[in-house]
């Protein structure tokens, strides 16, 4: 007696990429705070480039890109533009990505003064020297939120956004719905 298999094809997983520009990784930590829900999420998404799996290249056909951190150097700009080219939907995650956050506190200080303070005048420095190497990206004069460099589709506020907010926005998008977050997940605004 033959067994008839039901004609149910597994749903295609969406590709999700994440990265941190000038950020503290706190937003990624909050993403991980989804805890056991991450297993459920990974049934619906496949991770592309992310510090969570250490894959360094973004797949060209990503569906979702989560960006933590502000734009403070030339490498950040290149990464951001690559994410925009590779991902259908870009989400700015956290205060640094949305409005510059903590990294932008240097915007009223000359870049040279920042470098001198960090590398020449700091307490306890041995052989003080400002690092210069062709491998190092150039600092920008100012720190920018990501929407000033690329088009952003959604903004997830917070420092960091709570895990429940990640869960809600990702599930709404995975369900093909316009994300709607209740006020208690947006209380940093």
Give me the residues that bind ligand SF4 (CB under 6 A), please.
Answer: 23-24, 26-27, 68-69, 94-96, 101-102, 159-160
Q: Which 8-state DSSP code applies to residue 148?
A: G
Closer residue to ligand SF4 (CB): 14 or 102: 102
The minimum distance between CB 100 and ligand SF4, in angstroms, equals 9
Neighbours of 139 (CB within 10 A): 17
The minimum distance between CB 162 and ligand SF4, in angstroms, equals 11
Length of the chain: 189
Closer residue to ligand SF4 (CB): 26 or 162: 26
The minimum distance between CB 189 and ligand SF4, in angstroms, equals 13
Q: Find the distance separating the first CA and the last CA of the chain, reported in whole Å.
A: 63
Q: Are 104 and 139 spatial neighbours (Cβ–Cβ below 8 Å)? A: no
The minimum distance between CB 49 and ligand SF4, in angstroms, equals 17
The minimum distance between CB 163 and ligand SF4, in angstroms, equals 12
Closer residue to ligand SF4 (CB): 16 or 123: 16
Report the alpha-carbon distance of residue 91 to residue 152 in Å, rounded.
6
Closer residue to ligand SF4 (CB): 48 or 95: 95
Two structure tokens written together for 115: 């470098």
| DSSP-based three-state secondary structure for 13 | coil
Half-sphere exposure for 99 (CA within 13 Å, toward CB)? 10
Closer residue to ligand SF4 (CB): 19 or 58: 19
């Amino acid at each position: 007696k033959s067994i008839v298999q039901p004609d149910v094809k597994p749903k295609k997983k969406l590709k999700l990429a994440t990265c941190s520009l000038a950020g503290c990784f706190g937003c990624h930590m909050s993403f991980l705070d989804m805890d056991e829900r991450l297993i459920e999420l990974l049934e619906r998404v496949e991770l592309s480039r992310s510090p969570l799996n250490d894959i360094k290249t973004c797949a060209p056909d990503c569906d979702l890109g989560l960006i933590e951190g502000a734009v403070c150097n030339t490498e950040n700009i290149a990464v951001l533009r690559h994410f925009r080219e590779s991902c259908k939907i870009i989400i700015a995650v956290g205060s640094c990505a949305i409005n510059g956050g903590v990294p932008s506190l240097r915007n009223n200080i000359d870049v040279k003064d920042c470098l001198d303070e960090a590398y020449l005048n700091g307490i306890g420095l041995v052989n003080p020297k400002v690092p210069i190497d062709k491998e190092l990206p150039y600092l920008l004069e100012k720190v920018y939120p990501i929407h000033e460099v690329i088009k952003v589709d959604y903004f997830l506020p917070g420092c960091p956004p709570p895990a429940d907010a990640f869960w809600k926005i990702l599930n709404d998008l995975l369900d093909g719905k316009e994300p709607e977050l209740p006020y208690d997940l947006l209380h940093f605004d």
